[in-house]
Amino acid sequence: MPIWGWVCIGLTVVAVILIVVLNIKMSNARKYTLENGEPVIGWLVQANNNLFEKGIQDYPAVVLISPDPKSADDEEYMTELASDIMSLKGEDCDDDDEEFVSSLVTDEAYVEGKRTKLPKSFADRPNIYLCHVYIYRDDLPKKRLTQNYVCCSIIWDEPGTLICSRPWKGRKKSKRRDDEYDDED
């Protein structure tokens, strides 16, 4: 066999080993986050389009998360804020805070564990974070995104740790609503 044949075989073996190692690392990070993290609701800002359709591949997304229950449970506020953030994508803004948020949402590169606190002057409330989250289809109702939120797990006091979706168990709706739970899907 010519030398190039051995090189190709060697590169293939290295690639397979790398893929296996990365999958094990991601699996361990997910297990750690689910065991030690806090369950939260992540309000979708943007997600890979493939997550809205049937498929088997898991993908990242950008969500809003807040440790403050008043903000976290306020569906109207969080979905409106998510929409406002998306409207800034790719825009040149006059306001420094809007420019900062625009840069966050325009950069689509996934960074494991990235969470950025939004300026209070932009969000009108403290403790709202724009987070990179990894969404596992097996955690979603119907194995795809069907809502404007996703159940997540986050370890607040360990920045840089994986933020990921968690198995679906429904969610309590905002205190302003008459119905107690939203777990129809």
pLDDT tens-digit series, residues 53-103: 999 999 999 999 999 999 999 999 999 999 999 999 998 988 999 999 999
Percentage of the chain exceeding pLDDT 90 = 63
* Torsion sign (Cα): 133, 135, 136, 139: positive
Task: Kindly report, residue by residue over 111-147, the tens digit of the pLDDT.
Answer: 999 999 999 999 998 899 999 999 999 999 889 999 9
The answer, as to whether pTM is greater than 0.85, is no
Do strands 171-172 and 38-47 pair parallel, antiparallel, or not at all (unpaired)? Answer: unpaired
| Count of other CB atoms within 10 angstroms of residue 86 | 13
Contact 182, 170 (CB under 8 A): yes
Reduced to 3 states (helix: H, G, I; strand: E, B; else coil), residue 98 is helix
